[in-house]
Structures are given as C-alpha cells and as structure tokens.
Structure 1
C-alpha cells in the first residue's frame, strides 16, 4: 500500500495566524522555499531546524530573539510549506540556504541550526559561497562513516510520521516527547504530516554516511557549539574531538537537556543561545 502523501492540515495553517512573522518565499533551482521572517533591528539570523521540524515548530525560540537579531526560520526542503524533491544531501541543503541568503539580500547573516540544521549550517559556513557572520550549531549529529549509527533509529521517525499521516494529537505525541511544553506537542501533532517521508529517510541515511567532522574544521567565522548535557547525539567523546579540531570555537552544555535541547529545557537553552549570539551581534 502506498504511503500517504505529505499534507499540511488546515488546522496547522491556522497556527500561522498566531505567529508574529511574515511568510517569505525564495527559489533554489526549481524548488520554492518558505521562510518565516520575524523582523528585528539586529543582524539576520538564519534558523535551520531539524529532520522533522517545520519552521513553525521553532516559533517559541525565534520570538525570544528579536531584541538581538532578525530571526528567519526556514522550512527546510521537504518540510512545512517548502517544496520537496531532490537528493536531500547536506550539500543540496546548503545550496538551498545559500539561495535563501542571496534571494533575500541578507548581508553576512548569522547561522543557527539544530540537529540536521546544525550540520547544514556547518556546511554553509565551510563552503563560503554565501558570506556569513558566524554560526551557532546546536547538537549536530556526529554519527557518520566509521562512527556508529545515529542514536534514534529510522523506524522511530517513520512510526511517528505514520501516526501523523493517519491523524494524531498532543496526547499521543507526549508518549514520545513527554517533557515538551504542551504547545509544542500540539504543533508537532498538526505539522509532522507536512514532512516528506523520503526527506526523512534520505536525511537519516545522511546522518550515517555524511561526516560532520569533514566540514567542522573549515567552518568560517566565530562559531559556538551548544549541546544537551544529556544528549546521546553529542557525547563527551564527540565534544573532545570537536575541541581538538576547532579549539577557537566556544562550547556550552545546556543542563537537564537531551538532544531536543530547546524543547527539553527552554529557559536554560534560550539563555545559553543568547549568550552565544551576543559576541557575534556586536
């Protein structure tokens, strides 16, 4: 039986009415990409979410940063309102981000990414095809060739997607993510079905076939690596290797947080993020 196509629910679209941001669109090749622009007087901060996180699910982070930066949260290719298709490789995601920077006329934006988004931000900063002013990478998957599997199996992601495709609610989401604020459980219940199955499959494969450390030493500009103190994705050994390869970067652990850093401990994660951003904002 074929899987259900990705779908943006009417109830999900209605969530955007409560988001204090303007929807913008850019093209990357033939793909149309959607961005939530929160405004603000500071430098642009391009925010790149994780593997199953449409842009709206990072609203609770973006709206707390507008006094420092101009947050622009991206619906990554194959998620939210952005088109799907393509290879879903790290370099294709980086090309999309570069197209966004050029398409919106952003001048030396800062980059912020969580999980998959942190890997994308690292590649963009290392490639240097779009001038950037610094980057904050939060809990980037450090799995890869010869490094063991990604801690969360693909089946777990696909099982949650199947729930969303047949219809889910915040109570069911809470079974997988009990620590999350209720609003974030509700948003996930409504928005997860907007994620393309193939995008999840290909990206998860990339977590185990594309090496973060191949790009990390070349990340240009001021760089901060944040991670959950209890994260299985960024381990003590991973932090030690990252320090040895890029001693000029700053490193900060978010207490009482696993891989879903901002969802697990929002106040502490936001405080650590703001501390990382301040020197880059100037």
Structure 2
C-alpha cells in the first residue's frame, strides 16, 4: 500500500518550490536529493520513510517542477536558504534533515544557518571535495551528455549506458525527468563541489549527525572519515559496503538498515520495488 499523499507547490525564498509528501504521520523528515535527481526519482525511497514519518521530498531549484531559468542563483547558499524557507512556509517546526550527495551539503548549510527545529542530519555520501582536495570522482561529461541526450528524447534502453545497473523502471523515470534538470544549475552545483569546502560546517552542526558511506562509491575514503570524526567526534558513521554512490539503487534494504535506530526506530525494506 502506497504512503504517497500528494505533490504540491509553495512560494518560499522567492521561488516556486515543488515537493512530494509521503506518510503524513509521525516525526517530520525533509529529504533533499542529489545533483540530477528530481524528487520523483526518490519516490521509491520516500515510500519507506512514509511508513513511519511525515516525509517531504524537495525538488531543488533548477530541477523537477521547482523554479528554473537563467535569472536564478544556483549556489549552495541559495539552495540552503530554500530548505529553511520551505520549512517555514509549510509550518514545519521540528524535522529530521536527510540529504543525498549534493543534498547533504545543502542540508548542512541549512542547519548551520537556521539550527532551530533541526532534530538530526543524515548525510548520505556527501562530496568531500573542495579547494586543494581530491576531486569529486564523478566526471562532468557524464552529467552534461546525459542531460543533453535526455532533452532530445530518450528511453530506458538509451539510459542504460549512463545507469547500467538500474532497473528498466528506474531508467525510464530518469529518462523522463532528467530534461527538467537545468544544465547551468547542475554545473553550478558541480563546480561548488570543487570550489566550496564543507568541512568547516561539521563542528557547527546543531544536532546529532549520521554519515552514511557508500563502500564502492569512491566519494568518501577512510582518510576522509578520520578527518570528519576529528571535526565532529560525536558523528555516527555507517557503511553500505556493496553500494556505489547511488546507495538505495544499489542496495535498497542495506540503505535503510544503515540508519539503524538513528531516527528513533529502525527502517525496514525487504526488497526494491
């Protein structure tokens, strides 16, 4: 039985923000996906969170059905402000923040800028690149080429060269929604991975924090974990050993098992839908 409630739009931080809501009961979760993942592509994950949480999945600006176009600022600070403004506009006063990749960097900044009401942060394999640091392992042409090809029209079979391990349904969904990813917005986020160092945020985080590491992602290495633990000794670090960077796609049950009881109760998903 689906936990999906509805999708909607709200004016917050001066832009239209689109969201999907699941569950509607229990503690509140705000989930911010990664660099080229509109909210709908995380629906299969949100369905599980919706079993126990009032779950809101956001389209970051320049993606999905949220505001887009050349007149917007797509930098990390503006996107962090969007999250805080969304919570205010929807009357969400206490919430868990969950962010994947780019979304993890956004929720870190959002929590530092507006700590009130943040119950916890779950950082799912965030890029730890930055000035003078190891580059982010994802290469820009992969993003650019897939977006441009999707804009011309592609199907699940064509998407296989970019996401070979995904199911046909997942590839079809990505092919359908990737054209909503505004290339300059994606480029700004990608550049921020390398130009903005998020490490200074760790010691400022206002609530308990979980770092989830993809064992095969190559994004976070043991030396990165050691540095982060020095910056935030209380951080909980968990691993999904058989997953790449897109953890729920690679190990769906393992993704939820990795939370343990961090959010207050264990999450369970038997198999990927």
TM-score (norm. length: structure 1)? 0.89
Matched, 1:73 2:61: no
Which of the numbers 245, 251, 254 marks the counterpart of 2:237?
251
Alignment deviations for residues 220-248 of structure 1 (CA, whole Å, 9 cap, x no partner): 11110101011111111111111111110
Alignment of 1:19-34 (within 5 A): 20-34=4-18
- Paired residue for 2:22, among 17, 21, 38? 38
- Report if aligned partners of 2:13, 2:81 keep a CA contact under 8 Å in 1: no
Q: Which has the higher helix share?
A: 1
Alpha-carbon distance in 1 for matches of 2:266, 2:82: 23
Asked whether 1:84 is paired with 2:68, we answer yes
**What is the deviation of 1:25?**
1.9
Task: Work out which of the residue numbers 269, 275, 282 in structure 1 matches 2:255.
Answer: 269
Give the Cα separation in 2 of the matches to 1:21 and 1:210: 36
Q: Does 1:181 align with 2:144?
A: no
Q: Secondary structure at the match of 1:64?
A: helix
CA offsets per residue over residues 153-194 of structure 1, 9 Å max, x none? 211100010110111111122222222233211110110001
What are structure 1's unaligned runs of at least 5 residues?
A: 1-17
Q: What RMSD, in angstroms, separates the aligned Cα atoms of the two structures?
A: 1.8
Q: Tell me if the contact between 1:128 and 1:220 (Cα under 8 Å) persists in the aligned partners.
A: no
Q: Report the alpha carbon displacement of residue 280 of structure 1 after superposing the two structures with TM.
A: 10
The Cα shift of 1:129 comes to 5.2
Listed one character per residue, the Cα deviations across residues 98-123 of structure 1 (whole Å, up to 9, x for unaligned) are 01000000021110000000111111
Equivalent in the alignment of 1:48: 32
Per-residue Cα deviation, 1:102-147 (whole angstroms, up to 9, x for no partner): 0000021110000000111111122225521111110000000110
Residues 32 and 83 in structure 1, CA contact (< 8 A), matched pair in contact too? yes
Q: For residues 131-280 of structure 1, what are the structure 2 equivalents within 5 Å? A: 131-273=117-259, 275-278=261-264
> 8 Å contact 1:49–1:113 — kept in the other structure?
yes
CA distance in 1, matches of 2:149, 2:10: 31
Which TM-score applies when normalising by structure 2? 0.92
